[in-house]
Chains A and B, each alone.
Chain A
């Protein structure tokens, strides 16, 4: 891997909740996360003029679709609870509707402007945990 292209990638997913649903944190401490996920956090954009809207930000290793599949594996119960509360959310159970889930994430992901900075461009989660 050349140092210019980090193995890590960002995901910035806009999630708009249906009317009447309250913003919740999508990042549960109890959830199991795949070992290609570095960081994940959510913020509410309600007081920035985007009502009922949450931004889920994660930093993961490698391929986008593989990451989503791994995320489905490790947290499908969480998605099955969340997605019915989402406006134009994909159908659940998510394990049986993978493609719809991938399409929905792709549509609502905000691609970053250049440049994505990484202080350790070749280190995956697994590399760090095995240092």
Chain B
């Protein structure tokens, strides 16, 4: 197990901050010298993985798109960066679309409809500020704004997220962020579980990934950096709750049961395999696998968690760190306000982890050929819904819901190490 240099690794790679407020700034670098000036100024603000004794009021992390690295003078095609990063989220999401390689970014989710400059070559840096409260976020914003002005880089806009409901509850009602990988060599997570430890190199470049395969970093930053998919995902909360009620009436279920079957957990996080008929606060949230639920009766194979993290049903090569949180105010029916989920999905191989999960499991037939992920999948006329569940031994097949989650923005990012950041500024 490698001894990780925690002061070299960006903090949100190995730990979830649990700061409830975040702001992701989209930044354009008009010329290399302005960009380098900004990187020099912001580097001392970047939160590393070093343990803290007192939780800081704000944390800050930085991500570069391929256009951003290019604007800083990096020859992106010849620096040992991964192919999918060099091609970028737009090309990967559109060029490779076929039955087996669908990232879901089409129709209303197409890059042409994205916000904040995402989907164009203008977004160079995504700077993420995490804060304990809204005041601290505004204060951090002032600091960052003056750094941007004096360096001469341009802010294209920002995306907030607010964990206003507490316990990482997303607008579809679920307690989120329960299961995160245990990374070899990283400080243990606050809430322990019995899930396997995943090789360091699955999340940090410059170390061995699963099967002892070395995962190399780019030439300008050989170790301790990593990649992410930044996503802004709009959730159609009205349609979701309307469907839960409609399906409950139509199939003789309860709305809570439909909600639980779609996810694989009850809204409070109780795993269906441990408590199939009711939420149970006494069961552990993440000590389970699917070995006792095959054929699947408690937790549908098509449910979100069973298909996106397969536990005993696959190896540890397709895991993701989810650093995302809800945006938009607490749900009020039909108020017309947009709500969703935004943040970084971190991994050392976008192809083997983020893209694999999205194309093979969420939108593909790698887990079930019947239909896509009911919560996250790109469900449309070409890929209609078909969700099978068992409730109290009766089988129902739900075939009348639409796409609940659409893409509002995306970018493939490189998250440099601290020394990589210093390299980028010279």
Chain A positions within 8 Å of B, measured between CB atoms, are 1-2, 5, 7-8, 35-36, 61-64, 66, 73, 95-96, 121-124, 126-127, 129-131
On whether the beta carbons of A66 and B360 are closer than 8 Å, the reply is yes
CB distance from B183 to the nearest CB of A (A): 20
Having A2-B382, A61-B369, one finds 16 other A-B pairs with CB under 8 Å, namely: A1-B365, A1-B383, A7-B365, A7-B369, A36-B366, A63-B359, A63-B364, A66-B100, A66-B360, A66-B366, A121-B369, A124-B367, A124-B368, A124-B369, A130-B296, A130-B301
* Cβ A95 vs Cβ B213 within 8 A: yes
Partner of B301, one of A62, A96, A126: A126
- Minimum CB–CB distance from B371 to chain A (whole Å) comes to 7
- Residues in B neighbouring A1, C-beta threshold 8 A: 99, 365, 369-371, 383
Give the most central of A96, A121, A126: most B CB within 10 Å.
A126
B89-103: contact bitstring with A at CB < 8 Å (1 yes, 0 no)?
Answer: 000000000011100
Instruction: Compute how far the CA of A96 lies from the CA of B212 in the bound complex, rounded to whole angstroms.
Output: 10
Please tell me if the beta carbons of A66 and B356 are within 8 angstroms of each other in the complex: yes
> Cα distance A30–B368 when bound, in Å?
26
Given contacts A5-B99, A127-B301, contact A122 B369 (CB under 8 A): yes
Interface contact A63-B360, CB-CB below 8 Å: yes
Which residues on the A side are within 8 Å of B315 (C-beta)? 73
Residue of A nearest to B356 (CB): A66
CB <8 Å contact, B364 and A62: yes
User: With the chains together, A61 CA to B301 CA distance in Å?
Assistant: 15
Given A73-B315, A95-B211, A95-B213, also A127-B364 (CB < 8 A): no
In the bound complex, CA of A5 to CA of B382 (Å): 11
For residue B178, give the distance in angstroms from its CB to the closest CB of chain A: 23
* Contact indicator per residue, chain B 300-322, by CB within 8 Å of chain A (1) or not (0): 01000000000001110100000
Interface of A is mostly: loop
Pairwise interchain contact B369-A127, C-beta atoms closer than 8 A = yes
Chain A, Cβ-Cβ closest to B359: A63
Instruction: Choose one: B294, B360, B369, B370; the contact of A129 (CB below 8 Å).
Output: B294
Closest A residue to B317 by CB, please name it: A73
A122 near B360 with CB under 8 A, answer no
- Asked if B295 is at the interface (CB within 8 A of a chain A CB), the reply is yes
Cα A90 to Cα B315 with chains together (Å): 25
Q: Which residue of A lies closest to B210 (CB)?
A: A73
User: B367–A126 contact, CB under 8 A?
Assistant: yes
Q: Looking across the interface, which residue of chain A has its beta carbon closest to that of B214? A: A96
Instruction: Quote the shortest CB–CB distance from B374 to chain A (angstroms).
Output: 14
Q: Kindly report which residue of chain B lies nearest to residue A8, judged by CB atoms.
A: B369
Q: List 8 A-B contacts (CB under 8 A).
A: A7-B365, A8-B369, A63-B100, A63-B366, A96-B213, A126-B367, A129-B294, A129-B295
